[in-house]
Structure 1
Amino acid sequence: MEEVYENVELHKSIHQNPLTNHRGSCRSKKKSGVAVLVFLGLLNVFLLLGLVILGVHSHGLVDITSDLSITNNNLTKRLQTSQDQLSNMTAERDLLNANLTEMTKELIELKMLSKKDKKCPAGWRMISCTCYLLSANRGSWDKGREDCRSRGAGLVVVNDADEQTNLAGFTEESAWIGLNDKETEGSWKWIDGTPVNFEHWAIHQPDDGGNPLVAEDCAHFRTGDYWNDLPCSSSLRWICEKPPT
């Protein structure tokens, strides 16, 4: 009897285990399905958030692109305006230069016309609308200055290379000009106060003679060309100048 009972119990146990296993399997499948649903739900949420963020960034990029386009257009307009202004200024400058050139020509013509009928006194030579006189006498620099003054003139002031060239053949011997450094050694001045903007000294001149006892403070044409300094008491001819009358 006991063996029969054990067989019956074993039979029940065998038939009960598949049901239990089946229920466990179903429960496991339900849990897996819920997890999948939760995962899919979270994935949808993340996708939705990504789309929202992308939309915000896309809108921001559109705004930035629009701002850059506006800025570029403004800069282009300003550049074009600046170029137009520069072009106008260049045209005005060219016009002013042309007017200045024309006015300079007219001024020169007027000066020539104003002096056309004027003449130099007898014995004087006109060179480029200026009268020059080479003295017949000789004497010191101060004597030459006084003689020129008595004639309503002054010792010649050489203003530029053209005048120097014109005077180069005026005399074949030394002659005083209106240049000296009597006040301050080495500071040469024209007698009429004209700035010394042009010089035509001979090589190594002025040198003050190298004798501290005899100063060389007055300038002269050396054989009518380059300048040299000599003691003002030296006896030379001189050149006077004055405008024609």
Structure 2
Amino acid sequence: MFFSGPRRSKRSLHLGVILSLSLLSVFFLSGLITLGFFYHNCLYDSAKQLLEINNQLSSMGEERDLNANLSTVSNNLSSITEERDLLNTNLSAVSSQLSSMTKERDLLTEKTNELKSLLCLSNQNKACPAGWNKFNCSCYLLSERSASWDEARKECRDRGADLVVIDSPEDQTAISNIATTEAWIGLNDKEQEGIWKWVDGTPLTLIPAGNWEEDQPDNGGGSSHWGEEDCVHVRTDMKKSWNDRSCSTSFKWICEKTP
């Protein structure tokens, strides 16, 4: 019984130490759990911030690419605008030149008509060679034989004349009276298809297209039978008497010259 007191004291001390260590362990574990939770939250916040920064950077990259594309489009649009303005300037210049050429052509036509009128007055009292028909100020001859358009023109030029040029409705009336059969006249588009010119170089502008036979000229209508139809002859079986035919076709012809 003498030793029971100290033993109880030691046992109480051991229990106190154990209890203290247990409490410290609990506190340490709680601290670790708290620290882990705090660290986890910090990592989550950091990851979230990194994600937001990455999204911002991505958005900035997209905006940068968009700005680059917009800049390229703007440059292309500016280039197109410059080309359009240059084209409009060139078109304006061509239009002005065409207008000037048209005025010059009209003036030349007017002067030519005046010259023809003066020549007509000077030739009024002159007679045509035998076999030629006189109308207004010109002499006309219907050939006796037939030939190609080129041969016909050569025959006319050998006589000091040329294939007839019809530059007024009155001339058309006179030719209709002279041409008792199909006959070549001095109109062709041999130089450029569809651009009709008279043998004196004047374009087909003074006589309306109403003198063409219906659906003519048609350059053969695409048929290989007729070939290229670059020369014009008059017909006598209808009022609208002009028709295009192959220049190698054999027809009579009408020559024209001044007395």
- Within 2, Cα distance between the matches of 1:50 and 1:103? 78
- AA partner of residue 233 (structure 2): F
What is the identity, as a one-letter code, of the residue corresponding to 1:116?
L
- Cα offset for 1:20? 5.0
In the alignment, which residue of structure 2 is the partner of 1:199? 234
- Asked if 1:128 corresponds to 2:136, the answer is yes
Give the aligned residue type for 1:166: A
Contact 1:127 / 1:166 at 8 angstroms: preserved in 2? yes
**Aligned to 1:26, which of 28, 31, 35?**
31
Asked if residue 74 in structure 1 is aligned to residue 43 in structure 2, the reply is: no
**How far off is 1:103 after superposition?**
0.4
Q: 1-side partners of 2:116 and 2:101: how far apart?
A: 22
Name the residue aligned to 1:165.
173
- Per-residue deviation, residues 180-232 of structure 1 (Å, max 9, x unmatched): xxxxxxxxxxxxxxx961222338xxxxxxxxxxxxx9979xxxxxxxxxxxx
TM-score, normalisation: structure 1? 0.51
Aligned residues: 177
Equivalent position SS for 2:139: strand
CA contact (8 A) 2:182 2:233 kept: no
5+ residue gaps, structure 1: 135-140, 143-148, 180-194, 204-216, 221-239
8 Å Cα contact 2:133/2:140 also seen in 1: yes
* Structure 1 residues 48 and 219, CA gap change in structure 2 (3 angstroms): closer
Measure, in 2, the Cα distance between the counterparts of 1:90 and 1:31: 86
User: Which of 74, 83, 91 is equivalent to 1:86?
Assistant: 91
Q: TM-score, normalised by structure 2?
A: 0.49
Correspondence 1:35-184 to 2 at 5 A: 35-118=40-123, 119-121=125-127, 126-131=134-139, 163=171, 165-166=173-174
Distance 1:55 1:177, change over 3 A: closer
Listed as ranges, the gaps of 5+ residues in structure 2 are 1-7, 146-154, 185-229, 239-249
Please give the secondary structure, in 2, of the residue aligned with 1:202: coil
Q: Distance in 2 between matches of 1:177 and 1:153?
A: 21
Q: CA deviation at 1:91?
A: 1.6
Q: Distance in 2 between matches of 1:92 and 1:85?
A: 10
What secondary structure sits across from 1:198 in the alignment? strand
Sequence identity, in percent? 14
1:20/1:100 CA distance change after superposition, 3 Å: same
Give the RMSD, CA atoms, in angstroms.
4.8
Query: CA, structure 1 residues 114+29, in 2 after alignment: closer, same or farther (shift >3 Å)?
Result: same
**Distance in 2, Cα, partners of 1:218 & 1:93:** 38
